[in-house]
Structure 1
Amino acid sequence: MIQVNQTTISEQAVMAEVQYHPASTKRAATLKAAESLIIGELLRQRANALELVTSTNPAEEERILDELIAREVAIPTATEKECEQYYKQNPKRFESSPLLEISHILLAASPDDDNARVEAKARSEIIIEQLQQGERFADLARRYSACPSKETDGNLGQISRGQTVAEFERQIFNAQPGLMPQGIESRYGIHVVYIHRKIEGQTLPFNAVKQRISDYLNEKVRRKALAQYIHQLIIEAEIHGYDFNLSDSPLMQ
């Protein structure tokens, strides 16, 4: 049982809340649930103190919370100068994705079939050697590939980041044009890859990303201001049955 300024939060309420706070252990989930209920109660009590009408309707509660925050929390907005400074300090964040034009030969093998993956790896080495000796990629793709792209000689066309699985993407976007000297492993098997062309990403102009930067910085400041506001409510409250000093929540960092 938890007391928050004379208001009781029962053990049953905490247990019911646990389902909304997945964690690596039951104890961690329980702590998160308790913390969430305590913070919610503190916000309700503060809204009552300011004579904001509370409600059990979730949409109405959200509106009241927004009104409470607007009244109680000063949240500055990012200036254009701050946005431009962030842009200059983080140029890699604002590059367009490189474009690759590639062909591949997929030697299918399930992730949990070790024998099939060993065989696929060995086959990929043979195919790469054949290609290095002058065999046509299109011919070998049509003969060996398990991907539908074999009907177009293994050609996947132009791809950018986010269009392929992560383990495949990591390898190809760090490679240079030409035949990759080793097969690439993915959840689908082993890929023999030829990169026909690589167009490097370009830094986007500031005006094209200014709004995105502003939204990011404003949300970051908002979260920090809310955390400080809630922290102050916790300090001023009488809370029994829960110790925020034992919490590893980001709120308390």
Structure 2
Amino acid sequence: MMSAQAAVENVAGQDLVAVRIDGVEIPETEIAREMQHHPASSLAEARHLAIQALIVRHLLVSEAERQGLGADVGADDDSVDDPRIAMLIEREVVTPEPDEITCRRYFDNNRQQFDRPDRYDASHILLASPPDDTEARDAGRLMARDLIAKLQSEPHLFAELALAHSDCPSRDQGGHLGLVSRGETIPEFETYLFSLKPGELCLAPIETRYGVHIIKLDRKLPGEAAEFDALRDQIGEYLRLRSRHTALRQYLLLLAGQARIEGFDMEAAHSPLVQ
């Protein structure tokens, strides 16, 4: 983990914008120390997240102090678990429990999210070749036709032929791909796979951007419609958390609107702290 001193040295010399809350500047050393808790793909992003966290903490602690909350609990201004913050949020950020009608409406409007789709247990042999390599493609088609002809008379050899000829890692499992649903593989592959009957071999070589495939459908598991009663508590918890995040964000933006924040745009902030 990067030390606060290292973080300061890494941002030193950069054109940094000072950040102030009600005229008081957040020291760069404090920002650097906070950056250690916000892993990111760049120092700039880590600094942005650190500043956001410091502003949020300042807003909440200041409001808790204004309301006289937690004066006797020995709170620590540097702790994200400051009990004053928890007390303030408990008092100010109130979200109703989603009722049956609300949960049912969400379920009905998002059935596709909950229903289990048809699943296809498939196997294939891939004869890999780039789309623009005409010679390799032609060779792949010829070999695919030979292998398909062999499998028509000796279907039990599929796993053996996959191990011997396939360029897909699934060859070590006899070409078995496992269960797939619509949208999880490439369209041209699905078009043929989903038209097969369980146990059926596709008699045509299938071309995709990866090469030429020989495909077989081992079995089909029909989809299942979700039952609302089984998901009622899960949906209720999701809606409750979503409402709480929205209410918390709105409350923080309200506090930010009452403060004078310079050098940082809280309206554009995106983080679990303010969502």
Please state which band the TM-score falls in when normalised by the shorter chain. 0.7 to 0.9
Equivalent of residue 126 in structure 1, options 127, 139, 142: 142
Partner of 2:92: 72
Mind listing any 5+ residue stretches in structure 2 that lack a counterpart? 1-17, 197-201
Equivalent AA in structure 1 for residue 106 of structure 2: Y
Q: Count how many residue pairs are aligned between Structure 1 and Structure 2.
A: 239
> How far apart are residue 56 of structure 1 and its match?
5.6
Going from structure 1 to structure 2, the CA distance change for 1:60 and 1:231 (only over 3 Å counts) comes to closer
Mean alpha-carbon deviation: is it higher for 45-54 or for 168-177? 168-177
> How far apart are residue 38 of structure 1 and its match?
0.8
Going from structure 1 to structure 2, the CA distance change for 1:28 and 1:146 (only over 3 Å counts) comes to closer
Task: Measure, in 2, the Cα distance between the counterparts of 1:183 and 1:244.
Answer: 51
Contact 1:95 1:202 in 2 (8 A): yes
Equivalent of residue 144 in structure 1, options 165, 172, 176: 165
Partner of 2:4: none
**Rg bigger for which structure?**
2
Going from structure 1 to structure 2, the CA distance change for 1:204 and 1:119 (only over 3 Å counts) comes to farther
Mind listing any 5+ residue stretches in structure 1 that lack a counterpart? none
Task: Measure, in 2, the Cα distance between the counterparts of 1:120 and 1:210.
Answer: 54
1:192 matched to 2:210: no
Residue 206 of structure 2 aligns to a residue whose secondary structure is coil
Contact 1:124 1:192 in 2 (8 A): no
Going from structure 1 to structure 2, the CA distance change for 1:66 and 1:248 (only over 3 Å counts) comes to closer
Contact 1:74 1:225 in 2 (8 A): yes
Task: Measure, in 2, the Cα distance between the counterparts of 1:118 and 1:45.
Answer: 70
Partner of 1:225: 247
Equivalent AA in structure 1 for residue 108 of structure 2: K
Partner of 1:82: 102
- Counterparts of 1:30-45 in structure 2, within 5 Å, are 30-45=47-62
Task: Measure, in 2, the Cα distance between the counterparts of 1:148 and 1:32.
Answer: 41
Equivalent AA in structure 1 for residue 40 of structure 2: P
Task: Measure, in 1, the Cα distance between the counterparts of 2:169 and 2:246.
Answer: 50
Going from structure 1 to structure 2, the CA distance change for 1:94 and 1:221 (only over 3 Å counts) comes to same
Contact 1:18 1:29 in 2 (8 A): yes
Percent identity reads: 27
Task: Measure, in 2, the Cα distance between the counterparts of 1:65 and 1:171.
Answer: 55
What is the TM-score of this pair, normalised by structure 1?
A: 0.72
Partner of 1:234: 256
Task: Measure, in 1, the Cα distance between the counterparts of 2:233 and 2:139.
Answer: 50
Going from structure 1 to structure 2, the CA distance change for 1:190 and 1:182 (only over 3 Å counts) comes to closer
> How far apart are residue 91 of structure 1 and its match?
1.1
Task: For residues 185-232 of structure 1, give each alpha carbon's deviation from its aligned partner in whole angstroms, at most 9, with x where no partner exists.
Answer: 67xx87532223323322111111112211211111111100010011
Task: Measure, in 1, the Cα distance between the counterparts of 2:64 and 2:137.
Answer: 64
Going from structure 1 to structure 2, the CA distance change for 1:104 and 1:45 (only over 3 Å counts) comes to same
Task: Measure, in 1, the Cα distance between the counterparts of 2:176 and 2:265.
Answer: 60
Contact 2:22 2:260 in 1 (8 A): yes
> How far apart are residue 69 of structure 1 and its match?
1.0
Contact 2:95 2:247 in 1 (8 A): yes
Task: For residues 102-134 of structure 1, give each alpha carbon's deviation from its aligned partner in whole angstroms, at most 9, with x where no partner exists.
Answer: 12224478xxxx69x988755543344335546
Task: Measure, in 2, the Cα distance between the counterparts of 1:152 and 1:42.
Answer: 57
- Root mean square deviation, CA, Å: 3.9
Mean alpha-carbon deviation: is it higher for 64-73 or for 77-86? 64-73
Contact 1:22 1:29 in 2 (8 A): yes
Task: Measure, in 1, the Cα distance between the counterparts of 2:134 and 2:33.
Answer: 49
Equivalent AA in structure 2 for residue 210 of structure 1: R
Contact 2:121 2:179 in 1 (8 A): yes
